[in-house]
Amino acid sequence: MENLVNDLFGQFAFLQKLGYVPTAAVVMLTCGLIVLNFFGVMSGLYTFFERKVAGWTNARRGPNRVGPYGLVQFMADGVKLILKEDIIPAAADRSIFKFAPYLLLLGTTLSFVVIPFGPKWIIGDLNVGVLYLLATGSFTVIGLIMAGWASNNKFALLGGMRSAAQIVSYEIPNALAILVVVLMAGTMSMQGIIRAQAGGIHHWFIFSSPFSFLAFFIYFISAIAEINRVPFDIPEAESELVAGYNIEYSAMRFGVFFAAEFGNIYVITAVAVTCFLGGWQVPFLDVGELGPVGRSFGSFMARPQVLMLLLLVALAATFLAWKALRAFVWDVRRKRAFFGSRFVRFHSELLVLGLVFAGGALVLALHLPLRAYLSTIYWAFFQYLLPFLVFFGKAMLLSFVVLWWRWTLPRLRVDQLMGVCWKYLTPMGFVCLVGQGFWMWLFS
């Protein structure tokens, strides 16, 4: 957090007038709110994403009614959940029943503290970052057992017991795989682990050694088991336990369970990206070294990587413009009204682009200090936006795999699940850890 505060403090003169401590307070509060909201919106968007992926695999369409492409469907669902009657079974243990979902949510939210969003943007870059993550991950199991027990329902109880056995077991291969990374990076801090992977794709930990390559898959599989996703979703197995631990929950309490579950997908993919896929490291471009180059604009733009990037942006813009043109022609041929037209309905992104251009024109017309703006934009882009987009993109790619499995694979039986953990993943995790030690001893 200090990094971010210092960075902003150095960049903007008006902050210096404000003073350091107030700046720090404001920045921290704002960032905390942004990250918290990011969590909320993400878990909502995940429900949308999941339903779209489900639609693609199930040969149907998925949500497409509320908002453009059905994007705000999750808000409608949220409103519905809030307005629904909240039923607590008469025989339930009321206080535990009420508390359980929030404990689950707490675990997920706490995880977001150490998830990086960029080189300088992280709520708390703890020196025990990954250890902290393993600890917050264990909140889940308490929440699930509490929910299962307090519901006073046998299916819920079975679900809670299953989740306890499952999550506690899978912590072990999970931790072992992360230990391999800690061994390689020499630090447990999330940013430290990402910085250790600087310098191109072959420095990413997944590709650094055969053992870390294996460790990635161990981590990914056991992490999916820890968040109860298919093929390890036995705690809520629909065809066996109806809904498992959350069977008695309704309305927003149920929604909170789901928000936590979907938020967890982002947590595990973000950790996988951090530990194995280079975090916010951009392939072919070293973002870390851009700090001091901040204001020497011309020399930076001349680099081949940047030119390539610009070329890509230009290609994307051309593609969008072509699609928009076709939509426009379609509208004109059919004499559609402006707001009902395809152009407006499907190309609202062009409106944003237009606003950006209008802003640029305004800057030029009013003779505003263009150079200062450009350097700020450039600083914001390469220090904040690009790393975040890269990180987010990688996480989304992995999330897609999680959702894709959800809709493709059947589910394991409870004993087979334990077998996978104790007979395969845990021994393999130990082999990876020892092997990585030898590997580093040989090649260092």
Contacting positions for another protein (CB under 8 A)? 54, 57-60, 154-155, 158, 161-162, 230-231, 233-234, 237-242, 407-416
CB of 155 to another protein, least distance (A): 8
CB of 151 to another protein, least distance (A): 14
Rounded Cα gap, residues 70 and 130, in angstroms: 36
Rounded Cα gap, residues 373 and 386, in angstroms: 18
CB of 161 to another protein, least distance (A): 7
308-322: string of b/e by CB count within 10 Å (b at 16+)? eeeeeeeeeeeeeee
Indicate the residue among 42 and 412 with the shorter CB distance to another protein.
412
Peptide linkage before 292 cis (omega within 30 of 0):
no
CB of 232 to another protein, least distance (A): 10
CB of 364 to another protein, least distance (A): 53
Indicate the residue among 59 and 337 with the shorter CB distance to another protein.
59
Indicate the residue among 84 and 411 with the shorter CB distance to another protein.
411
Indicate the residue among 44 and 231 with the shorter CB distance to another protein.
231
CB of 421 to another protein, least distance (A): 15
φ/ψ of 282, rounded to 5, equals: -85, 130
* Residue 233 one-letter amino acid: D
Q: Are 266 and 46 in contact (CB under 8 A)?
A: yes
Task: Select from 122, 309, 304, 287 the least CA-distant residue to 199.
Answer: 287
Helix axes 154-185, 210-226, angle to 10 degrees: 160
Indicate the residue among 107 and 159 with the shorter CB distance to another protein.
159
Rounded Cα gap, residues 383 and 282, in angstroms: 11
CB of 422 to another protein, least distance (A): 16
CB of 163 to another protein, least distance (A): 13
Indicate the residue among 81 and 158 with the shorter CB distance to another protein.
158
CB of 193 to another protein, least distance (A): 32
Indicate the residue among 30 and 416 with the shorter CB distance to another protein.
416
Rounded Cα gap, residues 393 and 352, in angstroms: 21
Task: Select from 345, 329, 332 the least CA-distant residue to 64.
Answer: 345
> What residue spans of 151-249 are helical by DSSP H?
154-185, 190-195, 205-208, 210-226, 238-241
Which element (helix H / strand E) includes 373? helix 370-380
Indicate the residue among 27 and 158 with the shorter CB distance to another protein.
158
Rounded Cα gap, residues 232 and 215, in angstroms: 19
Q: Are 251 and 85 in contact (CB under 8 A)?
A: yes
Indicate the residue among 30 and 58 with the shorter CB distance to another protein.
58
CB of 166 to another protein, least distance (A): 12
Contacts 24+ apart (CB under 8 A), 407-413: 407/53, 407/54, 407/57, 407/58, 407/230, 408/57, 409/230, 409/231, 410/230, 410/231, 411/230, 411/231, 411/232, 411/233, 411/234, 411/237, 412/231, 412/232, 412/234, 413/234
CB of 238 to another protein, least distance (A): 5
Indicate the residue among 168 and 385 with the shorter CB distance to another protein.
168
Q: How many residues does the chain have?
A: 444
Indicate the residue among 305 and 416 with the shorter CB distance to another protein.
416
Specify the DSSP class assigned to residue 203.
G
Written as six digits, the tokens of 305 are 């990587």
Written as six digits, the tokens of 150 are 């307090």
